[in-house]
Amino acid sequence: MGIVGLGLIGGSLGLDLRAQGLEVCALVHRSSTAERARERGLADRIETDPAVLRDCGLIVLALPLDRLLEPEPALLEALPATAVITDVGSVKQPVLERWRPWHPRFVASHPMAGTAQAGVEAGITGLFEGRPWVATPEASTDADALESVRQLAETVGACWLQCTASAHDQAVALISHMPVLVSAALLEAADQGSQGAAAEALVRQLASSGFADTSRIGGGNPALGTLMARCNRDAVIAALAGYRRQLDQLDQLVHDENWTGLEARLQRCQELRPAFL
């Protein structure tokens, strides 16, 4: 097994695969990262030289979207032509379009798992257990390569799913990418709404679990949030438009003092939520 990048996803994958007795070779960008990753036992071999991937039969590109879409030439040259290559990017259509001509055994995939942590310290065991791992094969995708990625996902306890790249990107815009921006807006609204008021300090003092839950992803990695919006722009714009319509309707119910209508909407939301969890 090869892994390129030992952040949250790559590091967690390395820990789980080693626990299953598989040999893991990892490529990282910095010597300091390699040293710390060795101390944490994230892989069996960890190098900054792409040649470490030479003998790998399946390689996971656990890279940020920008580096996945614009990989270093040395990485492309080092990938064995016979190896199965997959990625963990949260947007699939642009990735497929880039990697389709670069490697004959590329399978676009996305494990839907994560925490608020990042970097070489973030990897944990069991991250993928019970979580979706989505592949977006095309008609030309190598069937044996697709099966290898499915086995990888199931080895770490993930739930295997398949769909088109466009369907994936629309779905994640609604349940992952748009919520980052909505959560960010919530944080800014709470901050700006209290500025210059006697409640400014009190707003922060009273913020509890509900605010923590709804603001968590808005206060996450700014680079990741920007990349998701940039690489999935059209779907994110459509998702934000839908959210804006819902917010306008709720605003109108409150403005009209339509408490019966508001309670009915909230009742429906209460009934909807379990299907998303």
Q: Who contacts 150 (Cβ-Cβ below 8 Å, separation ≥6)?
A: 135, 160
Confidence of residue 201 (pLDDT cuts 50, 70, 90): confident
Confidence of residue 118 (pLDDT cuts 50, 70, 90): confident
> How high is the pLDDT of residue 116?
75
Confidence of residue 198 (pLDDT cuts 50, 70, 90): low
Question: Cβ(98)–Cβ(69) under 8 Å?
Answer: yes
53 and 176 share one domain: no
CA distances (Å), 187 to each of 125, 243, 249, in order?
A: 31, 17, 21
141 and 210 share one domain: no
15 and 138 share one domain: yes
159 and 77 share one domain: yes
152 and 175 share one domain: no
Chosen domain end from 148, 163, 178: 163
Least confident window among 31-45, 114-128, 144-158, 174-188: 114-128
Least confident window among 49-63, 96-110, 140-154, 204-218: 204-218
Q: Which residues of 226-257 are buried (b: 16+ CB within 10 A; e: fewer)?
A: ebbbebbeebbeebbeebeeeeeeeeebeeee
Question: Cβ(182)–Cβ(218) under 8 Å?
Answer: yes
pLDDT above 80: residue 196: no
137 and 186 share one domain: no
230 and 248 share one domain: yes
CATH number at residue 102: 3.40.50.720
The mean pLDDT of 149-153, rounded to a whole number, is 98
- The percentage of residues in the chain with a pLDDT greater than 70, rounded to a whole number, is 99
Instruction: Classify strands 58-61 and 84-87 as parallel, antiparallel or unpaired.
Output: parallel
Q: What is the tally of structural domains in the chain?
A: 2
Digit-coded pLDDT (tens) for 26-57: 999 999 999 999 999 999 999 999 999 999 99
Stated pTM of the model: 0.91
The mean pLDDT of 94-98, rounded to a whole number, is 96
Other CB atoms within a 10 A radius of the CB of residue 35 amount to 13
Other CB atoms within a 10 A radius of the CB of residue 66 amount to 13
Chosen domain end from 106, 130, 163: 163
The mean pLDDT of 248-262, rounded to a whole number, is 98
251 and 179 share one domain: yes
SS (H, E, C) the chain: CEEECCCHHHHHHHHHHHHCCCCCEEECCCHHHHHHHHHHCCCCEEECCHHHHCCCCEEEECCCHHHHHCCCHHHHHHCCCCCEEEECCCCCHHHHHHHCCCCCCEECEEECCCCCCCCCCCCCCCCCCCCEEEECCCCCCCHHHHHHHHHHHHHCCCEEEECCHHHHHHHHHHHHHHHHHHHHHHHHHHHHHHCCCCCHHHHHHHCCHHHHHHHCHHHCCHHHHHHHHHHCHHHHHHHHHHHHHHHHHHHHHHHCCCHHHHHHHHHHHHHHHHHHC
Confidence of residue 174 (pLDDT cuts 50, 70, 90): very high
> How high is the pLDDT of residue 205?
87
> How high is the pLDDT of residue 246?
97
Confidence of residue 197 (pLDDT cuts 50, 70, 90): low
154 and 177 share one domain: no
25 and 133 share one domain: yes
Instruction: Classify strands 58-61 and 106-107 as parallel, antiparallel or unpaired.
Output: unpaired
Domain extent, residue 194, equals 167-276
21 and 157 share one domain: yes
The mean pLDDT of 4-21, rounded to a whole number, is 97
CATH number at residue 201: 1.10.3660.10
Distance CA 264, CA 97 (A): 44
Distance CA 143, CA 147 (A): 6
50 and 154 share one domain: yes
The mean pLDDT of 132-152, rounded to a whole number, is 97
The mean pLDDT of 223-239, rounded to a whole number, is 95
> How high is the pLDDT of residue 221?
87
Confidence of residue 214 (pLDDT cuts 50, 70, 90): very high
Chosen domain end from 163, 179, 195: 163
Confidence of residue 200 (pLDDT cuts 50, 70, 90): confident
